[in-house]
Amino acid sequence: MKPKTLVIALGGNALGNTPEEQLKLTAHTASVIASLAEEGHRIVIAHGNGPQVGMINTAFDFSNQKGGGTPSIPFPECGAMSQGYIGYHIGQAVQNELKKRGINRNCACLVTQVLVDENDGAFAKPSKPIGSFVTKEKAEQIAAQTGFVFAEDAGRGWRRVVPSPLPKKIIELDTVKALSETDSLVITVGGGGIPVVQNKDGFLSGIPAVIDKDRSAALLARELKADMLIILTAVEKVCLNFNSPEQKAIDALSCKDAERCIREGHFAPGSMLPKIEACVDFLEHSAPGSEALITSLEKAKEALHGKTGTRLYK
């Protein structure tokens, strides 16, 4: 296969809910990524941070409110912290795996800001799940104590939700391009990027929100003119009528058919829907021949070679 420029979006199953769990999981993740690097592909990695940013935010709030002497940390700063430690784990694991295989390529983690519109309607409708799953009763208890908003997440439990505005611009894009052009594997837009807004003078400031990492990955793939956007998640293929007796796995999906399936309500808002929308957005703004791929981490290499996964095309 001719080497390609790949933007890979890692889902939560590639990470973990604690630093210890994450260290173990990223070693496996690194093996998959190194296998793709071994084929000569230029790779840029995005990742989620829902459990991690929720953990960091909750810990600081708890300590602040319980007399721990810890200051209250704004949400954008919590996002930056999560980018740093997740990127450290992924980068170190990938670098170690590359070394084992005798591959002489660097791995760089870039703390990244992403511009959003402060008038985005998402700020009035929190929808992005963060933190760990809880029961409905626990969610109601925490909401009463803190004012946090909770929502049921694709049949898996209840999670806190925060605003999820659309990404408009990747602030450090030129740096990502420069690093990628040296054949470094770049970890960027972690957690979708730190959401920032811009005033009339062009100055940036953080805003409390979490950008969907798949949407930021799609924007990144567009700007890098990537050959393929790969979204790695918990399932091998996209399914219609998911979790029902009529469930059907899909091998390939055109943008037109994907939009029809969205209208028919086949994809859950907190799960597969943003992934499909991100793929469609990438393809509709990319050169002919570009592709998007949704599959599991374990099947990434097989899927890249057309043996499994769900491919989306224009």
pLDDT in tens, the chain (314 residues): 789 999 999 987 678 778 888 888 899 999 999 999 999 999 999 999 988 888 898 898 888 878 888 898 989 999 999 999 999 999 999 999 999 999 999 999 999 999 999 999 999 999 888 777 889 998 999 889 888 899 988 778 998 888 999 999 999 999 999 999 999 999 999 999 999 999 999 999 999 899 999 999 999 999 999 999 999 999 999 999 988 898 999 999 999 999 999 999 999 887 899 999 999 999 999 999 999 999 999 999 999 999 999 999 99
Torsion of CA 120, 125, 128, 133, to 10 degrees: 170
- Output the CA torsion sign for 86, 88, 89, 91: positive
| pLDDT given for residue 256 in this prediction | 97
C-alpha separations of 171 from 44, 181, 205, 263 in Å: 16, 18, 12, 33
| pLDDT given for residue 57 in this prediction | 86
| pLDDT given for residue 182 in this prediction | 95
| pLDDT given for residue 13 in this prediction | 66
- Give the Cα separation of 191 and 168 in Å (integer): 15
C-beta separation of 47 from 213 below 8 A: yes
| pLDDT given for residue 160 in this prediction | 85
What would the 3-class secondary structure string for the chain be? CCCCEEEEEECHHHCCCCHHHHHHHHHHHHHHHHHHHHCCCEEEEEECCHHHHHHHHHHHHHHHHCCCCCCCCCHHHHHHHHHHHHHHHHHHHHHHHHHHCCCCCCEEECCCEEECCCCCHHHHCCCEEEEEEECHHHHHHHHHHHCCEEEECCCCCEEEEECCCCCCEECCHHHHHHHHCCCCEEECCHHHCEEEEECCCCCEEECCCCCCHHHHHHHHHHHCCCCEEEEEECCCCCEECCCCCCCEECCEEEHHHHHHHHHCCCCCCCCCHHHHHHHHHHHHCCCCCCEEEEEECCCHHHHHCCCCCEEEEC
Q: Which residues are catalytic?
A: 12-13, 128, 213, 275
Give the list of residues 6+ apart from residue 16 with CB closer than 8 angstroms, or none: 22, 23, 24, 25, 26, 51
Residue 150 falls in which region: left (phi positive, over 0), alpha (psi -120 to 50) or beta: beta
Structure tokens at 60: 């600081």
C-beta separation of 75 from 54 below 8 A: no
